[in-house]
Amino acid sequence: MTAGDGGAAAAGDDAGRMWWSRRFLDVLGSFTDHGRLHRGWTYARQGRVKDLRVRPHEVSARVFGPEPYGVAIGVGPIDEDSWRAVAAELASQPLLRARLLEGETPPELEWAFAQAGVPLLPDSPHDLHLMCECPGYGEPCEHAAAVLCLLAEAFDRDPSLLLTWRGGSRERLLHGLRQASAKDAPDPFDVGDEPLRAAGFWTAGPAPAEPREHAAPAPPDLLLQLLDPPAIKIRRRPLTDVLRPAYEAMSRA
C-alpha cells in the first residue's frame, strides 16, 4: 500500500495528532539519537522521502540524502493464534466492540493487543529490523529516521496502515471480532443440566432488575454492525444499507 511520496507538508508539525501516532513518535524518540532524529525530520520536511510503501511486516522508501538510499523497516509478525486472542479480547468488551464497528480507533485497542501478549506498536529498537543502503552505522540512521517520521504522519491519516504493517487489516480484525462474538454467544436452547419439571413451569420467575437510569443507549443499527453483511443487494445497494434507515426510524418512534 502506498502511503505517499513525502514532502514538507507530509511530515510537518501536525504529525502525531492521533494517539497511535503520538505513541509511535514517543517510542521512536526513546531510542533514537537526537541529532539523527532531527536530521530525519528535516529530510522528511524537505520532501526527500519518496515512494513510501506500507506492506505486511515491512515499510520501504527511497531517501535522498544527497544520494538515493533504499530503506526498509521490518517488524515482527503476529501469528494467527495471537490475532484470534486479540479478537476475543475485543469481543469481550461490548462498548469497545461497538466503537470499532462504528469505524473508530479507540486507545483501548492498544490495551487489547497487550492483553493478548503482542504489542500493537514496537516497544524498543529490538522490535524493528532497520535496513539502509547508506554507509552509516547508526540505528536508526538519519535516512531510516526520516522514513519513521513520515510513517507516523501516514498513521495519522490512516490508522489501518498500522494494522497492515503488523500483518493484518481492519477488515480482518473486524471479521475475527464478529466470529469471536458469535462463538461466545449463549445457545438459547441450552437449558444446562437442570431437567425441566412440570411443577412450577408456568410460575412467573423473579422480576427483572430495573434498568439503570444512565445506561448508554445502544445504537439502533447495532445488530447490523455485529452480524456479517449478507450477499443480498437491493438496487445494487447492500441490504444492511437499505435496512439501516428503517432501524433508526423505529428507534425514534
Most confident of 155-164, 212-221, 239-248: 155-164
Domain range list for the chain? 2-78+120-167, 79-117+169-185+226-253
What average pLDDT does range 11-29 have in this prediction? 73
**In angstroms, rounded to a whole number, what is the distance separating the alpha carbons of residues 225 and 213?**
25
Query: Alpha-carbon dihedral of residues 156, 160, 162, 168, nearest 10 degrees?
Result: 180
* Residue 251 or residue 109, greater confidence: 109
What pLDDT sits at residue 90?
A: 85
Most confident of 18-32, 98-112, 149-163: 149-163
DSSP string covering 116-134, please?
A: TT--SS--SGGGEEEEESS
What pLDDT sits at residue 253?
A: 60
**In angstroms, rounded to a whole number, what is the distance separating the alpha carbons of residues 116 and 232?**
35
What pLDDT sits at residue 46?
A: 93
**In angstroms, rounded to a whole number, what is the distance separating the alpha carbons of residues 194 and 154?**
56
**In angstroms, rounded to a whole number, what is the distance separating the alpha carbons of residues 253 and 241?**
20
What average pLDDT does range 89-102 have in this prediction? 84
State pLDDT tens for residues 32-60. 888 888 899 999 999 999 999 999 999 99
Lowest pLDDT segment from 150-164, 210-224, 236-250: 210-224
- In the DSSP assignment, the letter for residue 185 is S
What pLDDT sits at residue 55?
A: 94
Residue 175's pLDDT band, with cuts at 50, 70 and 90, is confident
Average of per-residue pLDDT values in the chain: 77
**In angstroms, rounded to a whole number, what is the distance separating the alpha carbons of residues 183 and 46?**
51
* Grid coordinates given for 188: 438459547
User: Are 43 and 63 a contacting pair, CB within 8 Å?
Assistant: yes
User: Are 73 and 128 a contacting pair, CB within 8 Å?
Assistant: yes
What pLDDT sits at residue 216?
A: 47
What pLDDT sits at residue 203?
A: 56
**In angstroms, rounded to a whole number, what is the distance separating the alpha carbons of residues 211 and 215?**
8
CA dist list (Å): 186 to 90, 111, 181? 17, 26, 10
Q: Is the per-residue pLDDT at 73 higher than 90? A: yes
